[in-house]
Structure 1
Amino acid sequence: MKNYFSIRAIVIGCILLMGSTQSCGVKYSLSGGSIPENMNTYTVLFFENISAMVIPTLSQNFTEGLKERIRTQSRLNQVDQDGDGTFEGVITNYAIGSSGVEANTGLAALNRLSITVKVKYTNRKDETGESDYEESFTQFKEFRGDISTNEEQLTRDIILMLTEDIYNRTFNNW
């Protein structure tokens, strides 16, 4: 009987908590994260590649990937400037290295492509500035063989992971 009242109290507490968070002006959805109701637009500025290895298409691909992630996973409308939420930054690292060595030969068994992006996010609708951040995000993929045969797909995969991390940090506060 005691367990019944404990479980009931927890359920009622959760319902009350959910009710109070919905009245805070934040809209929750499974795919859209928690985007404030007063936020309607976003801007993604061009992310310049300032890493030692400059890949000609990386800046454009990353910038477009971030725009697409937000466009497809939120209700926000993209604008070229002065969005309610603004993303800006630079690609600070694009590196290829070995991540594993074969015992017999001493040669690299696995290679790793890593990309780091520094992001500054500003929420113009949050007067407190609590949701603003400046943070670096890094992701990598391991691969076998020559980078030239894998680079395009690896880069695409890493951009997907990075944009997911940025989206989650921004709208799901992860």
Structure 2
Amino acid sequence: MTWSKCSPPLLGRAYGVLALLMLLSLSGCSVYSFTGTNIDPQVKTISISTFQNNANNGPSTLSQRFTEEFKNYFQRNTTLKLVPRDGDLQFEGQIIAYDFAPAAIQRENGVDQAGINRLTIQVRVRFTNTNDPKQDFEQTFQSTGDFAATRDVSSINNDPSALRLPINNIITDTFNKSVANW
């Protein structure tokens, strides 16, 4: 039988089987999920210590808020079980900077003033993978949020939605570095 005599449905099935075999051969030994994680199947648990606020300023709830959002993000995007300590994957760290400063100066009526205020948050993260120490790292992650010059630091500190973007960016960057291997 030659390929020219194959019926279109048979030829379509042959291409489908070939595509499936190619997909399986590319998958290798690691596990990939639609959330973008690349977690070894032996990794079952995660522990996340409280991120202490070592910055000189910032809202009193920053440590608790950052830690809870960190835990929630990993629980939403992985199947790992959160344990109090000694997880297969371990996160700890501290908030090392929380700075609010003018970012764009504008001249209005002959006077220089802030056009935009920028909040910068830096968090030092230590990641330990007990199953693969080659993936361990300690790194500082930073993110910013820009606000109208009419907003001062106290209005930002009292507005939970204002901190959402910088906090989420840091958590996403940490997630990508640790379990998505990006």
Instruction: Give the one of 97, 109, 113 matched to 2:119.
Output: 113
Structure 2 match to 1:156: 164
TM-score calculated relative to the size of structure 1: 0.84
Structure 2 match to 1:131: 135
Task: State the shift of 1:150 in Å.
Answer: 3.3
Q: Deviations over 1:62-85 (max 9, x none)?
A: 001110010000111101111100
Task: State the shift of 1:30 in Å.
Answer: 2.0
Gaps of 5+ in 2: 1-18
Task: State the shift of 1:95 in Å.
Answer: 0.4
Q: Partners in 2 of 1:173 and 1:23 — Cα distance?
A: 15
Task: State the shift of 1:172 in Å.
Answer: 1.5
Q: Partners in 2 of 1:19 and 1:117 — Cα distance?
A: 39
Structure 1 match to 2:25: 19
Instruction: Give the one of 37, 41, 56 matched to 1:37.
Output: 41
SS in 2 for 1:107: strand
SS in 2 for 1:82: coil
Structure 2 match to 1:57: 61
Q: Is the 8 A contact 1:32 1:74 kept in 2?
A: no
Q: Partners in 2 of 1:64 and 1:23 — Cα distance?
A: 34
Task: State the shift of 1:173 in Å.
Answer: 1.8
Q: Deviations over 1:103-125 (max 9, x none)?
A: 22310000000100000000011
Q: How does 1:78-89 map to 2 (within 5 A)?
A: 78-89=82-93
Q: Deviations over 1:91-145 (max 9, x none)?
A: 000000111011223100000001000000000111xx11110000000000012
Task: State the shift of 1:32 in Å.
Answer: 4.5
Task: State the shift of 1:53 in Å.
Answer: 1.1
SS in 2 for 1:130: helix
Q: Partners in 1 of 2:40 and 2:25 — Cα distance?
A: 16
How many residue pairs match? The answer is: 158
Q: Partners in 2 of 1:69 and 1:166 — Cα distance?
A: 11
RMSD: 2.0
TM-score calculated relative to the size of structure 2: 0.80
2:165 is matched by which residue type in structure 1?
A: D
Q: Is the 8 A contact 1:41 1:85 kept in 2?
A: yes
Structure ID, larger Rg:
2
Structure 2 match to 1:141: 145
